[in-house]
Amino acid sequence: LFSVQAGAPWEHDGLKFFGLSLSGIRTSIAMPEFSLAFDVAQGYPFALNLKKFFLTHGHLDHVAGVPYIISQKAMVSQPPGDFYMPSSLVEPLHQIMKIWMEVEKHEYKYQFHPLGADDEIELNQSHYMKAFPTVHRIDSLGYTLFNRRKKLKPELRGLSEPQLKALKDSGAEIQDTFDAPLVSFTGDTQIEFLDSRPWIKKSKILIVEATYVDDKKSVEHAKKWGHTHINEIIPRLNDIESEKIVLIHLSSRYSTQQALQALQAKIPAAHRERVILFPGR
């Protein structure tokens, strides 16, 4: 159990993460190798050159930076970024951009893409993003980064190249497809997201909000505000197959040190090595 240092990247099995997350203040976590970020907070320098932005919901601490990122990209003549978001957020963000364009007397180019649960966005030949439902006070989505591998069907292994090509040309499927969930990112949500899709608990890395980590705030309080309490995650730890469970969106009432102490006291020893606290300040 440890906390990633603010401003430092965190890496597991070749997957790199960089960013900050603190409840009500800021949440933006980038995966630079994929040129993407989950949420954009107020629009930080590390996100300005990324290409794809997956927004979980419309609260300002998660998406206030959208107009800023659009304007910064325009200023250095970068192609406009792609912003993916729950469908109901598209029109309000268009309105915000419209007003800002009037204020600045400048026309911006940008792409807002409406998403619903289970929609998939291709990132490259072997990776795609898939949205899953989360439960918050406003429309919200979580996202899973999947790795897709294709392998020749075992029963076809002895065939020659021309034979395989002939088979393929005849319309036969010659490969098996394997989809592995690498990273699931929740944004703000109640614990119910965990059972909303079967792959979430199997993600290699689960990045999950845990706003409250001690008993001064109750599970009921967390639910009332659409959040998750560590007391709801702990009984599910045996269920969660992830190699790493990254806690984000800590309440600003805790210092990092206080949060680590509270987590150390609560999380059973067998799971402590899997749990990481992501920094927010």
214 binds Zn ion (CB under 5 A): no
Candidates 12, 18, 21, 14; CA nearest to 31 is 18
209 binds Zn ion (CB under 5 A): no
Of 111 and 252, CB closest to Zn ion: 252
User: Which token pair is 212?
Assistant: 């409250």
Of 87 and 264, CB closest to Zn ion: 87
Q: How far is the CB of 24 from Zn ion (least distance, A)?
A: 8
Binding footprint of Zn ion, residue count (CB under 5 A): 2
From 52, 59, 73, 229, residue interacting with Zn ion (rule: CB under 5 A): 59
Q: How far is the CB of 141 from Zn ion (least distance, A)?
A: 12
Q: How many CA atoms, within 13 angstroms, populate the side-chain half-sphere of residue 74?
A: 14
Q: Are 9 and 98 in contact (CB under 8 A)?
A: no
Q: From CA 170, how far away is CA 164, in angstroms rounded? A: 10
244 binds Zn ion (CB under 5 A): no
What φ, ψ does residue 24 adopt, rounded to 5°?
A: 75, -10
* Burial of residue 160, with CB atoms counted within 10 A of its CB: 0-12 exposed, 13-18 middle, 19 or more buried: exposed
From 43, 89, 188, 222, residue interacting with Zn ion (rule: CB under 5 A): 188
In the complex, the residues that contact Zn ion under the rule CB under 5 A are 59, 188
